[in-house]
Amino acid sequence: MIDLHTHSIFSDGELIPSELVRRALVKGYEAIAITDHVDYSNIECTIEAVKKAKYLEDVLDIKIFAGVELTHIPPSKIAPLVRKARDLGAEIIVVHGETIAEPVYPGTNAAVVETPDVDILSHPGFITEDEAKMAADNDICLEITARSGHNRTNGHVARVGLEAGAKLIVNTDAHSTSDLISKSEAKMIAMGSGLTELQALKILDNSKKFIS
Ligand SMILES: [Zn+2]
Ligand SMILES: [Zn+2]
C-alpha cells in the first residue's frame, strides 16, 4: 500500500509519527505520506516536525514522505501557500478539496487545479469536468478516499476524473490506527467508486510515480 494522505498529532490525528509509521508497516505499507492540516499559521512548524519522522527510514523498510494538507485556505491564498510549502521542503502537497462533508470555500477545486505544483486534490466533491481536465493537464491527482463522509462523492470523482483523463489515486486520510487499510481494501474502495477491477488496479499504480 502506498498512502499519500494521513494525519498525525501535528494536526488532528491520534498518533505520533513513529506510531503511525509502525502501524502502517504492520499493515503492509511500502510508503506513507504524513500530510497534516496546515494554513499560514502552522505551515513552518508542522513541516519541520513531520520532516523529522524521516529518521525512521534508516532502519525501516518503508518510504516516509513529509507532506502537508493545505486546509480551508481562501482560494486566492492557495498558490502562494503551495509555493511556501515546497520551499519549506514538503515532499507531498495535498490540498483539501471541496468535500460535501464540510463548508470548504467554493472555488477551492478551481484554484488547486490551476496550481501545477500541487500533487493531490483530496476529496474533491462534485468536481466539474473542466476542473478535472485542468487537473489532467497539470498532472494533479484526484483522490478517491477511504474516509467516511468525504467518500460520498467517490463515484462522481471517479467518473468525471476518468472521462477527463485525470490520474485518480486512493488514499486513506487516516486519523487513527483503524483508518489504515491494506492494498486489497484500497482496491475495493476503488471498485466501490464504480471502477472495474482492472481500472482499480491501474489507479493503485498511479501512486507509484511518487516513490520512483
Ligand atoms: Zn482533507
Ligand atoms: Zn486529510
CATH of the domain at 183: 3.20.20.140
d(Cα 205, Cα 211) in Å, to the nearest integer?
11
Write the pLDDT tens digit of every residue in 55-109: 999 999 999 999 999 999 999 999 999 999 999 999 999 999 999 999 999 999 9
Q: What is the CA radius of gyration of the chain?
A: 16
Report the pLDDT averaged over residues 17-43. Answer: 98
Query: Quick one: which H or E segment has residue 189?
Result: helix 183-192
Give mean pLDDT, residues 110-114.
98
Distance 113 CA to ligand 2 centre (A): 18
| Percent with pLDDT over 70 in the chain | 100
Count: domains in the chain: 1
- Tens-digit pLDDT profile for residues 172-184: 999 999 999 999 9
CA of 35 from ligand 2 middle (Å) equals: 7
Residue ranges of alpha helices (H) inside 53-169 are 78-87, 108-113, 129-137, 154-164
Q: Are strands 92-96 and 2-6 parallel, antiparallel or unpaired?
A: unpaired
Q: How much is the mean pLDDT over the chain?
A: 98
Bridge partners, 69 (sequence order)? 37, 94
pLDDT at 146 over 90: yes
State the distance from the centre of ligand 1 to the C-alpha of 201, rounded, in angstroms.
24
Report which bound ligand comes closest to the CA of 99.
1
Q: How remote is the CA of residue 27 from the centroid of ligand 1, in Å?
A: 22
From the CA of 145, how far away is ligand 2's center (Å)?
10
Mean pLDDT of 162-175: 98
Which domain covers residue 47, as residue numbers? 2-210
Q: What is the pLDDT of residue 212?
A: 84
Q: Counting beta carbons within 10 angstroms of the beta carbon of residue 201, is it exposed (0 to 12), middle (13 to 18) or buried (19 or more)?
A: middle
